[in-house]
Structure formats: structure tokens, C-alpha cells
Chains A and B, each alone.
Chain A
Amino acid sequence: MSKQMLSFTVNGVAREVAVEPDARLLDVLRDSLGLMGTKHGCGEGECGACTVLLDGRPVTSCITLAMDAEGRKVTTIEGLASEDGTLHPIQEAFVRGQAVQCGFCTPGMILSAKALLDRSPDPTDAEIRHALSGNLCRCTGYTGIVAAIKEAAAVMRGDKAFGPLPDYGSEVVGQPVERIGARERVQGKAVFTADLQRPGMLHAAILRSPLPRARIKAIDTAKAKKLKGVHAVLAGTDLPDKRWGLLLSDEVLLARDQVRYVGERVAVVAAETPDVARRAVSLIKVDYEPLPAVLDMEEALEPGAPQVHDRPEEYGLGYFNAPLDPPKGNSTTSMLITAGDVEAGFAEADVVVEEEYRTMPQHQGHIETHVALAQPEPGGRVTVYASTQVPFTIRHAVATYLDIPMSKVRAVAMETGGGFGNKVPIFVEPVAAALALACGRSVRLQYSRQDELVDSRPRAATIARVKTGAKRDGTLVARRLMFLVDNGAYCDCGPLTAGATVEAGRGPYRIPNVRLESHSVYTNKFNTGPFRAPGFPQVTFALESQMDALAAKLRMDPIELRRKNALRTGDTTFVGTTIRHDVFYRCLEAVVEKMAGDPATEHEGWGVGCGEWRTGGFPCGAVFKVNEDGTVALTIGSNDLTGSATSIAQVAAQELGIGLEGLSLVLGDTDAAPLAAPSAGSMVTFNMTNVVRKGARELVEKLKGLASEELDQPVEALEVADGRVFVRDDPETGIGFSELCAAQPIGVSVSHGRIPSTHAFCVNGVKVRVDPVTGEVTVLRATSAIDCGRAINPASVHGQASGGFVQAVGMALYEEIVQDADDGHVMTQGLTEYRMPTAKDVPSVETIIIEGDPSASEGHGAKGIGEPVHVPGVAAIANAIAAATGTRLYATPMTPERILRARGLDQR
């Protein structure tokens, strides 16, 4: 096909480009013109990350033919700031209003906002949400974005001006400091993995299993290898016979003898274009012998069920090295916690409720799909650039799968467009690395949205059977819980999902007699994995729904029931920490106060959900180096998806007595940094502020020690501020870091082992309206009270709470990866079918920060908050629906169909 000439104006400049006739505008902007601010998120016009303005109107460039832009004007995010670099007011408002987290949806969002404000200078919240409803954001929950657009509108109308940027000096902890990198993100300058180009770079494609379980008799790759432009074709037997996994080393990179789910990776190709790679995949022939499969987690536990793995007890421990009993058949883990005498407890109960709750698989929905670029290096090394939460885990998995020492692998975390757990398991990067080493060229593997839904690591389906008993006055006396987690074909984080959850099986209440049990189960379906507080939203849906059901049976206000049994000051949490300053009760009361001011009317209802989470300690290191001019470089191995680096920098800068300007951060490079907390489990801020503050203190001591010699003063007499060491009683006498550094290089490398785990509560209050005719649910209000220890950056806490709640709205009302009952294949193949909340589906979230119970982290007692803010939302929505309709739902998502059926309105 011959190329055609396209003449159009891009950001005010006339451009002429030769393009393939069927090229998408997105690809021409990115690949031909190098305008990388336009992002690829779904390829079907559903997510809005690729939004550009065509003659001033927003369009999705992934479904716009480049040739359709002939003679027209295109504006991309790169065209918004003035030539002198001054940001457009919308960009400035996004930065100041903390409307930016990962930054992947940001360029498209800002362009949609610009088109709106150009035609409607004073829009209402509803108009803004309508205009943004084609731009999905999975991090912010839209609250900050809507506020920022209102602010920008006021500035653009001339009603107000941006004030000077606040100067927090060196006392930055606890301040809403601007997110590091926000200015680059609003201009589309943040570099994500797919923005990297390498000479001679190849593209990978994957052949997937069409069957839920089958023996691979033969694979014929000859035809694929012969296709022009193909450089490598690999099947399972071309790789070392190695298994890997987060908790159990049970997964192969490419299927060897057997396939275990529809969508499992069977063979991979590297070719000169994505198109050639896909064509090559279609030329690979596989001879399968179908085997009986098991698709239902309860059936999988029955005697005689098909066994997903032949000898699972032989698998070794996984990456996290957590001590686990070996799997027994299809049961990968069993957990049992007992306390008191549960039978006696139920015998003394006046009221007992017993129910079963189910949740369906939910995708994390990060707008940037999985993507990795592997680059061969001299000496047989390979560098893997990736969209990830865990560079060190990548290095471990690549080294294991390819059977090479870790010294041969470097993993670099690029800017990452959301992860929410799905970028913790490793299944993309080693494929790219294997192909790159096989053909000696850089290889990019980029997941499509379909790949995401078919073979990533979504939230597991669960069944929770709960029975709770109480005295007539509401005192809880006994609980029995059986919790089943559908792992899918490999373990990944199933044991963790099933294990930690039962430890929290009492909920934030005193229950003396319990029997809490869980199993994670192998089935012949896609793998599941960690998703924002693995297991907790699922089990909390059951536990907190049952609290309301119990209250109803007791004819008691559900808030009263919670108050009566709540963990109070001095009580011990499931993590083992002791509650101070009554933080749980205060979270609850803060939400109740909001509810009281806004009573529900007809067809409306308020619901409450109470959640909690354990943030674990993780072995971490950090390296500080003083630069010759007295500024400081801090190198850490964690990377930043949410704004955590800003909090870490705040702690370091304050301790060192330098402003944030004097500190630079190097993130997520396994060659440069010591091991660090994964950006998962709410661990980064909690762990990294601890080790970083420790390091900063050591560095200050070192600087004081050197200054003490230079100044001939005792160390105790010295202070540090503004990049110099000086005598406390004589501040004129001092010496700059740069002078100290001139004599010898100064730095420290610090580390900590596992610091004691911490715990956080979060309470949601949600008001919904349920349409009496159709069963459609509208979320009218949402409040979130979060026990965060110390809010290092309050703006960041607000952003997390809003985003965490809106993700819960998705799980509660819309989202389900639908799998075929016969073979488990995924039927929701794109974002048209897999529906995530848009700006129009949710209200702004009101966040209440509750401090007073700091964690053991030396980093000012910060707690992990990313997970807890997501935990109670589904339960709160379920309770609100029950309050509005008088009917309880026992499965997610709570669709109009399920609501009408539960209410018995489906035949009327």
C-alpha cells in the first residue's frame, strides 16, 4: 500500500507527512511527529487518553483516521503552554489543585476541559462532568479535576488570578506541596514506557491458548519464522524450565506441556512491526489434546475434580518468600483462625444472621496498559524499561525465568500510568527480555486493552459465607466466616488474598468467639492477582453488609450497632497495634455527622462501610549523595505512581534543612538503588519515609561531624538549615554543604529490615438514589474518613481517598470481567463492555483526615492509605442501596437487573 501525503496544521505549524492510508491520527502524531503527550489507552475511543482537538473540538485520535485531518487544525497537549513556557491556566490549575496523579489521562483530560471552557466560560459541576465523561481517570476519582477546572475557568474569565506559589520553606511535612513532576505531566512531557524509541526496535505479539485445559502435543513455528520481518519466535520449550510466582513458584512464562486457561501464553513473536508480529502469531500451529477442566471454585475443591496442576506440592516458595504450606490438590492455601468458643458464642446469641456474598472479577483499569521495552546490553546483559510498580520484582523474575544471574538484569521503572496491583505480578517483562536476548535487538511488548482483560491479574472472584450472632442489646458474640478465593490457574497472590483477609475477619469490632477460615483455589481460568487491598473489599462487602442485616434484625440503627462494638482506644487491631486517640470511632462519627446534615428522601438511602488494612514493613534502602554545590541527590528503588515521591521528598528535605528545590530524586532503577518497597500494599510512603528520614539524619550527623572539625565546635552545638551547618548560638559562624563537599565526597547509604506493620481504618458514608422504575443507582454523595497517622501531604491524601472510592463504585455497580461458563473465556473484550465509572457517574468525594494514631514509621508516623481508602466503598454502597430499597444484594456488581430481581420487580 502506498503512502499518501497528509497536510494539516499541528499546534499552529503547517505539517506535511507521508502516511499509510489507514494510519490513525494517534500514531501519526506520536510516531511521525514525536508528539508523545497523546496517549494510547484503549484503541477503541472509550478511554479518552488520546484526545486531541480537531478544529477546536475534542476527538479521540485512536479512532480518527489521519487522512481525515487533511487541511484541518490539530491541537495536542504540546500546543497548550505559551512559547515562553507559561502553562495554560487549565494546566496551572491542575498542578495547583492536585488534579494529577499518574498523569496518563491528564493530557486528554486537559484538552477536553479546554474545549469546554472555550465555549462555556462558567460551567457548572454537572456541565464539567458531562464534558469529561469521555475521559476515564482511574487515580483521582475526578474530584480534584472538577475543582481544578472550576478554578481555571475563574482565572480565564478574569474573576481571579493565580497567587504566587506558596513557599513552605524547609518545614514542608504536613503541607499540600505540589506533586513532583506534575508540571511535566500536564504538558504531556512525562516519559512513559511506550514513549521510548530505540533504533531497530522490534514489536512482540503473543499466541494464546484457545482452550481451558489441554496437553500441548506439538507446536509448529516454521511458517511464522519464515514471514518477512519476523526476528524471533519462542515457545515454552525454547526457554529454561523455570517457574516463578509472587507467593508460589508455580507459573511458567510460556506454557510447556499443558495450557491451563483460555488466554494463557503459548508462544511469542518479535517482528519489525506490530502488524507483522500479529500475522506471524496467526501462522503458528499448535496441536492440542483437550483435557477435562474445572471452572468453578467450589467444584474444584470436591473430591474427583480435575486437578489444575499435577504435582503442586512440589512447587517452591515464591518471590515474597512467605512461609506457606504446600498446596493440596486444587486448594493452594487454607487459613484458619479461631478464638474463644464459637459454638458456645452462637448458643448465647439472641439473634443470628447467616448469609453468602459473592464478588466477581474486576480489572484494575489502569489507563496505561502493561508495556515493557527490553534492550540487550553488552556482556549478555539486558535492561528492561517498564510500566511497573516493582522494578526489583521484575529483575528477580527475569533472572529466574531466563536462568541468568541478577547481575545481568537491570530493571528501570518508567513513569507508570496506574497499576493498582496489576503491575506487581510479572508476566510481560520477561517475555520482552527473552525475545530481546534471542534476537539481539530491543523489543517492545505492549498490551492491548483486550490483552488486559484476557490475561493480566484482575481481582479474584470470591465467595464469603458469614454468620454473626449478637445479644439483644447488639453486643456481638460470635462469628463464623468461610472465604473462598478463585485464584485461576496459577497462584500469584491468592494465598495472600485469602490469608490476610481472615485475620481481619472480625472487622473493626470486638467479637470474642470466632472461627475464620479461607481457601484459595486453582481453577482453569485466567490468573488473578493483587488489586488494591487484595481480598479486603470483597470480605468487607460481606462483613459490613451483614452488620446492617444484623442491625435490621435487632431493630437497631446500624450506626448504633457499630458504635456499640467498635474498637476503641486501647483495643488491639488485627495487625496487633494498639489504638490511640479513638481513631476508628472518630472516623465513624465524622462520617455520621455528614450524614445527619443531609437526610435521605424517598428512593434514597445512606449507607456506611467500615474498613481497615495492614501495611507491612519491607526491607528497604536509600542512598544520599551531596552534590558539589550543596544540593542533595536521593536515590531510592521505589517508583511513584500516586505522588508518594513527593511525600518522601518532603520528609528528606525537611530533615536535611534544604528546600525541595535543593533535592533531586532518582527512582526505580535496580542498578542505582538498593532494594526498596514495592509501590504496592500502601507500602511506599510508610516504609520509604522511615528509611529516608533515618538516612537524612545520618547524613546530617555526618555533615555536622565534618563541620565540627572545620569550625572547631562540638557537634552538639551545631544546627543544619538552608544548606549549611552553623553554630546554634552564633548562626553567622557556619559552613555550607558545598564547602564540606569540596574536601571529600559525602554520602550515606542506609537501610532497614522489616519495620513493624501498621494499620489504618477508613469509613465511608454514601448516599444513593435507586430509580424505582429501572433500578438504576445514582451515587449522590460520598464521604471518606481516613485514619492516616500523619498526613505528610494532605492534598495527596484527598486524591487517594477520592480515587479509591470511585474504584469501589466501579466494583459495586458496573464492573465485571464476564467469563463464559463452559470454557472460562473472557466475554468483556473491551471498554465498551467493561464499564468503569466516568466523571458523570460519581459525585465529588468529601475526605476527612483523622490524625492522632501515628504508625511506627520514623517518617513522622505516616500510615499507608492507598488501600484502606478503597476497602469500605462497596459495602457502603450496598448498605445505601438496602437503605433506599429495603432490599439487600448479595453479589457485585449491583446492576439494575440484579436490583430489580432482588426486589421481586422483575415480573412486574
Chain B
Amino acid sequence: MEYLAPTALKEALAILRRPRGGPCVVAGGTDVLPRVATGKRRRPKQLVSIGRLPGLDKISLAAKGVLRIGARVTLAEVAASRQVARRLQGLIEAASSIGSEQIRNKATLVGNICSASSAADAIPPLLCADAVVEVAGSKGRRRVPIEELMAGPRKLSLKAGELVLAVRIPKPKGRIGSVYRRHGPRRAMDCATVIAAAQVTARKGQIVEARLAVGAVHAVPVRCPTGEAVLAGRAPDDDALAEAAEAVAAEVQPISDIRASAEHRRTIVRRIVPEVVLEAFTRAGGTR
């Protein structure tokens, strides 16, 4: 394994044009390195650290109120960011519940997204926020919605020679409530059994728009459009919440693994969706 730490983007992109299976991008390395060490991932030929690339270590406001989080920004930095807290509370909750202090000090938000893991905690709140990633390649830059970035479990839709530079969170229209909730036996260091995120806009007693996403349920985190449709324009009364929960439970196709059965995942989804939606509604300023 070769270790490369390019100091300019051009240099990095050139390395990444090497044949597939060769180069592997690492930021904190907290996902790739243990997976290589325990044989869960093939050893890459080159480890390409982005640790020395300039301009990727900031959380900043871009045009049109977009919040841009660079690829070197760690989860600890995200969790402590007031800008992020004002924009997307659910992302704060996700970032601060991943792994341990040691992991959060190295792991990056973009790294969590690019793991394309079913249980990547940060993805569900970002899916709800319609976040996109900023990708650099030989033909310039393009923006890719996170849904499209994930080509499958642990697979990205990037072409050879492309690198994710940042994640962009668009400015929502009006006040939103954003919530992230994870389910698992332990209270720390746990790979979640179920993740649910919601983003709601409210007008007085009504949900104007609800966005829902689940993680650790499907092979990759997904939005739940059927459940969202149930809630749009309704008051979050027990009936509406139960109906939404049923809709989400019906539309998910849970995986089964040693952490939990598919049935349990479906049960949890059904049981936590009302809580998560209601909390997001309250955070959005809605009153029941």
C-alpha cells in the first residue's frame, strides 16, 4: 500500500485517475483502515490522503445561503458548529452520536457520506435537507444529490478521477425542524440498528411539508416519500402520525443482519416515526 498526500487538487485528481481498485481516498481513515485491517475491505494500492489539500477544512456560507462543509471538516467540528446547529439540528445530533470522541476527532462528515454505508448516521438528515455534494473532476465541478452519489451499499457513482470536495446544504424556505434519532442497544460506540430523520415545516397546527429518511434499514439510507405524502398538509394528530408510520413501515424493505432482524427494523421504524415527526414539528414552531 502506497501513501500519497497531494497538496494540490490537480495532483489529487491525477492520482485518482489511476485504474479502479487502485487509489482509495482517506480523510480521517476511521472507516477504511479498520475495514482493511479486519479483512472486510480489499487493500487498496494507494491510500490518497486529502489531509493536505487546501480549502477543504471550513464550514462556510456560500451564495444563496448554502451552507458548505468542506471534505476535511471532522464530525467533532460539525457537532460543535453553531452555523450547523442553526441550520440543521438533526445533523448535530447525528454527528455527535457517531462512534466515540476519538473517532469524531478524525472522521469527517464527507467521509461518513462517502462510506455509503447503510448505517452512515449523517446521511438521513442530509437526505431530508436535499443536500448535494460538490464533486471535482477533470472536466470541472459538478453537484450531485446524495441519493445519486450512493450507487449501492459502499458504492459511489463517482467516475475515476473524481473527488468529493464538500457537502452543500441548501437554505430552507422558512423555519424548519430537523431531528435525528438512532436506535441500538448501547448508548455510545454503536453502529445503529435503525436511524430515522425528519425535517418538517409547519404553519400553526399544520405540517406544511414533512421529509423523512431512514438509515440502517435499507441497503443504503433512503427518503420515505409515501410517509411524507401522508403528512403533507395535515395536523400531526395521532391518526396522521400512525398513518405515516404505517406508510413508512410498509414502504421500507429492511435488511436482516446480526444486529437485528428485518422485522425488528420495521417495528422500530413504525414505532419511532411518530416521535421523530412530532419532535421535528415542535422544533419547526408548530403547535399541536
Q: Do A and B bind each other?
A: yes
Q: Which of A60, A112, A838 contacts B187 (CB 8 A)?
A: A838
User: How far, in Å, is B267 (CB) from chain A's closest CB?
Assistant: 5
User: How far, in Å, is A28 (CB) from chain B's closest CB?
Assistant: 13
The answer to whether A569 has its CB under 8 Å from any CB of chain B is: no
Q: Are B29 and A63 in contact (CB under 8 A)?
A: yes
Q: Are A841 and B102 in contact (CB under 8 A)?
A: no
Q: Are A829 and B5 in contact (CB under 8 A)?
A: no
Q: Are B99 and A134 in contact (CB under 8 A)?
A: yes
Choose, from A30-38, A40-48, A601-609, the stretch at the interface: A40-48
The answer to whether B106 has its CB under 8 Å from any CB of chain A is: yes
Contact (A65, B3) CB under 8 Å given A774-B268, A840-B187, A841-B187: yes
Interface residues of A in 820-846 (CB under 8 A from B): 827-830, 832-833, 835, 837-841
Q: Which residues of chain B come closer than 8 Å to A895, judged between CB atoms?
A: 185, 260
Q: Are A133 and B1 in contact (CB under 8 A)?
A: no
Q: Are B183 and A115 in contact (CB under 8 A)?
A: no
Interface 1/0 per residue, B40-73 and A, CB below 8 Å: 0000000101010000000000000000000000
Distance in angstroms between the alpha carbons of A827 and B259 in the assembled complex: 11
Q: Which of A51, A134, A905 contacts B188 (CB 8 A)?
A: A134
Q: Are B183 and A776 in contact (CB under 8 A)?
A: yes
Q: Are A64 and B186 in contact (CB under 8 A)?
A: no
Q: Which residues of chain B come closer than 8 Å to A473, judged between CB atoms?
A: none
User: How far, in Å, is A891 (CB) from chain B's closest CB?
Assistant: 14
Q: Which residues of chain B come closer than 8 Å to A63, judged between CB atoms?
A: 29-30, 33-34, 37, 106
Q: Are A905 and B267 in contact (CB under 8 A)?
A: yes
Q: Are B1 and A58 in contact (CB under 8 A)?
A: no
Interface 1/0 per residue, A55-72 and B, CB below 8 Å: 001111011110110100
Q: Which of A22, A45, A777, A829 contacts B102 (CB 8 A)?
A: A45
The answer to whether A439 has its CB under 8 Å from any CB of chain B is: no
Q: Are A896 and B185 in contact (CB under 8 A)?
A: yes
The answer to whether A4 has its CB under 8 Å from any CB of chain B is: yes
User: How far, in Å, is B261 (CB) from chain A's closest CB?
Assistant: 7
Q: Which residues of chain B come closer than 8 Å to A174, judged between CB atoms?
A: none
Q: Which residues of chain B come closer than 8 Å to A1, judged between CB atoms?
A: 1-2
User: How far, in Å, is B280 (CB) from chain A's closest CB?
Assistant: 16
Contact (A906, B267) CB under 8 Å given A60-B103, A133-B100: yes
Contact (A814, B34) CB under 8 Å given A45-B102, A60-B102, A906-B264: no
The answer to whether B263 has its CB under 8 Å from any CB of chain A is: yes
Q: Which residues of chain B come closer than 8 Å to A837, judged between CB atoms?
A: 186
Q: Are B47 and A48 in contact (CB under 8 A)?
A: no
The answer to whether B132 has its CB under 8 Å from any CB of chain A is: no
The answer to whether A450 has its CB under 8 Å from any CB of chain B is: yes
Q: Are B258 and A131 in contact (CB under 8 A)?
A: no
Q: Are B105 and A57 in contact (CB under 8 A)?
A: yes
Q: Which residues of chain A come closer than 8 Å to B103, judged between CB atoms?
A: 45, 60, 134
Q: Which residues of chain B come closer than 8 Å to A905, judged between CB atoms?
A: 267, 271
Residue of A nearest to B46 (CB): A21
- How many A-B residue pairs lie within 8 Å, measured between CB atoms? 151
Q: Are B29 and A64 in contact (CB under 8 A)?
A: yes
The answer to whether B189 has its CB under 8 Å from any CB of chain A is: yes
The answer to whether B237 has its CB under 8 Å from any CB of chain A is: no
Q: Which residues of chain A come closer than 8 Å to B259, judged between CB atoms?
A: 833
User: How far, in Å, is B57 (CB) from chain A's closest CB?
Assistant: 13
Q: Which residues of chain A come closer than 8 Å to B33, judged between CB atoms?
A: 24, 45, 63-65
User: How far, in Å, is B179 (CB) from chain A's closest CB?
Assistant: 14
The answer to whether A900 has its CB under 8 Å from any CB of chain B is: yes
Interface residues of B in 5-32 (CB under 8 A from A): 5, 26, 29-30
User: How far, in Å, is A602 (CB) from chain B's closest CB?
Assistant: 16
Q: Which residues of chain A come closer than 8 Å to B26, judged between CB atoms?
A: 65
Q: Are A814 and B185 in contact (CB under 8 A)?
A: yes
Distance in angstroms between the alpha carbons of A65 and B2 in the assembled complex: 12
Q: Are A22 and B1 in contact (CB under 8 A)?
A: yes
Q: Which of A48, A51, A777, A827 contacts B258 (CB 8 A)?
A: A827
Q: Which residues of chain B come closer than 8 Å to A64, judged between CB atoms?
A: 29, 33, 106
Q: Are A897 and B47 in contact (CB under 8 A)?
A: no
The answer to whether A688 has its CB under 8 Å from any CB of chain B is: no
Q: Are B34 and A45 in contact (CB under 8 A)?
A: yes
Contact (A813, B185) CB under 8 Å given A58-B102, A133-B101, A906-B264: yes
Q: Are A43 and B101 in contact (CB under 8 A)?
A: no
Distance in angstroms between the alpha carbons of A310 and B18 in the assembled complex: 57
Q: Are A68 and B49 in contact (CB under 8 A)?
A: yes
Q: Are A134 and B102 in contact (CB under 8 A)?
A: yes
Interface residues of A in 558-583 (CB under 8 A from B): none
Q: Which of B100, B187, B260, B268 contacts A48 (CB 8 A)?
A: B100
Residue of A nearest to B1 (CB): A22
Interface residues of B in 236-288 (CB under 8 A from A): 258-261, 263-264, 267-268, 270-272, 275
Q: Which residues of chain B come closer than 8 Å to A907, judged between CB atoms?
A: 267
Residue of A nearest to B33 (CB): A63
Q: Are A54 and B100 in contact (CB under 8 A)?
A: no
Contact (A43, B267) CB under 8 Å given A4-B3, A65-B29, A134-B102: no
Q: Are B186 and A841 in contact (CB under 8 A)?
A: yes
Contact (A773, B271) CB under 8 Å given A21-B2, A840-B187: yes
Chain A contributes a number of interface residues (CB within 8 A of B) equal to 61
The answer to whether A818 has its CB under 8 Å from any CB of chain B is: yes
Residue of A nearest to B194 (CB): A774
Distance in angstroms between the alpha carbons of A640 and B159 in the assembled complex: 57
Q: Which residues of chain A come closer than 8 Å to B5, judged between CB atoms?
A: 67, 70
Interface residues of B in 110-126 (CB under 8 A from A): none
Interface 1/0 per residue, A709-736 and B, CB below 8 Å: 0000000000000000000000000000
Q: Which residues of chain B come closer than 8 Å to A555, judged between CB atoms?
A: none
Q: Are A897 and B187 in contact (CB under 8 A)?
A: no
The answer to whether A285 has its CB under 8 Å from any CB of chain B is: no
User: How far, in Å, is A113 (CB) from chain B's closest CB?
Assistant: 11
Q: Are A776 and B185 in contact (CB under 8 A)?
A: yes
The answer to whether A130 has its CB under 8 Å from any CB of chain B is: yes
Residue of B nearest to A818 (CB): B258
Residue of B nearest to A42 (CB): B34
User: How far, in Å, is A110 (CB) from chain B's closest CB?
Assistant: 14
Q: Which of B38, B105, B186, B264 contacts A450 (CB 8 A)?
A: B38
Interface centre among B47, B76, B106 (most CB of A within 10 A): B106
Q: Which of B1, B47, B51, B189 contacts A838 (CB 8 A)?
A: B189
The answer to whether B169 has its CB under 8 Å from any CB of chain A is: no
Distance in angstroms between the alpha carbons of A450 and B94 in the assembled complex: 29
Q: Which residues of chain A come closer than 8 Å to B190, judged between CB atoms?
A: 835
Residue of B nearest to A46 (CB): B189
Q: Are A51 and B102 in contact (CB under 8 A)?
A: yes
Interface 1/0 per residue, A105-132 and B, CB below 8 Å: 0000000100100000000000000110
Q: Are A43 and B38 in contact (CB under 8 A)?
A: yes
Residue of B nearest to A907 (CB): B267
Residue of B nearest to A772 (CB): B271
Q: Are B264 and A897 in contact (CB under 8 A)?
A: yes
Residue of A nearest to B100 (CB): A134
Q: Which residues of chain A come closer than 8 Å to B95, judged between CB atoms?
A: none
Q: Which residues of chain A come closer than 8 Å to B183, judged between CB atoms?
A: 774, 776, 896
User: How far, in Å, is B175 (CB) from chain A's closest CB?
Assistant: 27
Interface residues of A in 522-567 (CB under 8 A from B): none
User: How far, in Å, is A41 (CB) from chain B's closest CB?
Assistant: 12
Q: Are B106 and A838 in contact (CB under 8 A)?
A: no
Contact (A838, B49) CB under 8 Å given A115-B101, A134-B99, A906-B267: no
Q: Which residues of chain A come closer than 8 Å to B198, judged between CB atoms?
A: none
Q: Which residues of chain A come closer than 8 Å to B268, judged between CB atoms?
A: 774, 896
Q: Are B38 and A830 in contact (CB under 8 A)?
A: yes
Q: Which of A57, A828, A830, A832 contacts B76 (CB 8 A)?
A: A57
8 intermolecular pairs with C-beta atoms under 8 Å apart: A63-B29, A63-B37, A64-B29, A133-B101, A450-B38, A830-B38, A895-B185, A897-B261
Q: 13 other contacts beyond A895-B260, A905-B271, with CB at 8 A cut-off?
A: A44-B38, A45-B30, A45-B99, A46-B189, A59-B105, A60-B100, A131-B101, A778-B187, A813-B185, A814-B185, A829-B38, A901-B264, A905-B267
Return the 8 tightest CB-CB contacts between A and B, nearest first: A134-B100, A133-B188, A21-B3, A44-B34, A22-B1, A840-B188, A897-B264, A63-B33
